[in-house]
Amino acid sequence: MFKKSLLLGAAFAVASFCVSAKEWKEVRVAIDPTYKPFTFKTADGKPTGFDVKIAQALCDKIKAKCTFVEQQWDAMIPGLMARKYDTIISSMSITEERLRQVDFTSKYYNTPSKIVVRKDIKSDGSAASLKGKNIGVLKGSTQEKYAKGELSTHGVNVIGYDAQDQVYLDIKSGRLDGTVADVVEVEGGFLSTPDGKNYGYVGQPLRMKKYFGEGIGVAMRKGDKDLKKALDKAIADIRADGTWKKIADEFVPGVDLWGE
């Protein structure tokens, strides 16, 4: 009788695992399409970018349909917890604070951030040299955490925005003196454009783990362990078979996106 119970228990466990694994025929992916070249829209309104193509490649590896859900950045994790989507694949850094709420895969890229200001501002990147200046940052981002923790405490005016492209609009209008942003994003979204010609980097690349974490990963709810396992394997697979490099070369050729 005891052996029979063990066999039944084992069969139930296997069946439960199979049911769980089959749940991921579709993966709903949250994106903030205001973060070129990682996530943005084509002229006809379709989402594209490095994050979007990576998300699609990962879904292909686990044989799931990829459905993209647009979400404002500072509401990303609350939306995940409310089950509006299953993952966040939108350049979200793996930080200790976020790990208390959600799970992450291993990283799928890792680039530093830097401070960008007008070229006529004499600054070495220190808080003291930026005192009184207006610096725009994306709400809920690691850059906002850094700016509030290291700059606003020394007299820098740190102003949060719902989207990074709104930061650039206010820089253009003269309401802001600069921003703190990912180097790849700010290069493609601002510095390489005509609006960014009078702006440049100051200070060293920003990599402090207490603010910027361990790289960029895929976020998911803590209970979705089978999805995490499948996506971790998928990241390793697209790195090994050349898919990751092909996508990186499409959007940021010649840049070391994998990082440290």
pLDDT at residue 8 tops 90? no
Checking if the pLDDT of 14 tops 80, the result is: no
Q: Is 72 within 8 Å of 31 (Cβ atoms)?
A: no
**Percentage of residues of the chain with pLDDT beyond 90:** 90
Q: Lowest-confidence range among 16-25, 33-42, 127-136? A: 16-25
**158-184 residue pLDDT tens:** 999 999 999 999 999 999 999 999 999
pLDDT of residue 24: 86
| DSSP state at residue 44 | T
15 sits in which H/E element: helix 2-22
> Distance from CA of residue 17 to its chain's centroid?
30
Record the tokens describing residue 130, joined without a space. Answer: 């930026």
Q: CB neighbours of 179 closer than 8 A, spacing ≥ 6?
A: 115, 116, 135, 136, 137, 143, 164, 167, 168, 171, 186, 190
Which residues have CB under 8 Å from 162's CB, separation 6+? 72, 73, 74, 138, 139
What stretches of 85-177 adopt beta strand conformation (E)?
A: 87-93, 103-104, 113-118, 134-138, 157-161
pLDDT at 157 over 70: yes
- In the predicted model, is pLDDT for residue 150 greater than 60? yes
Does 22 score more than 90 pLDDT? no
Q: pTM score, two decimals?
A: 0.85
| pLDDT above 70 for 9 | no
Read off the pLDDT of residues 26-66 as tens digits, 9 standing for 90 and up.
999 999 999 999 999 999 999 999 999 999 999 999 999 99
Q: How far is CA 187 from CA 116, 184, 191, in A?
A: 10, 5, 5
**Whether pLDDT at 5 is above 50:** no
| Paired tokens of 104 | 């992450």
Q: Is the pLDDT of residue 70 over 60?
A: yes
pLDDT digits (tens, 9 = 90+) for 215-258: 999 999 999 999 999 999 999 999 999 999 999 999 999 999 99
Q: What are the start-end ranges of the E strands in 154-198?
A: 157-161, 178-182
Residue 237, helix vs strand vs coil:
helix
Instruction: For residue 16, name the pLDDT band (cuts at 50, 70, 90).
Output: very low
Q: What proportion of the chain, given as a percentage, has pLDDT over 70?
A: 92
Over range 136-147, report the average pLDDT: 97
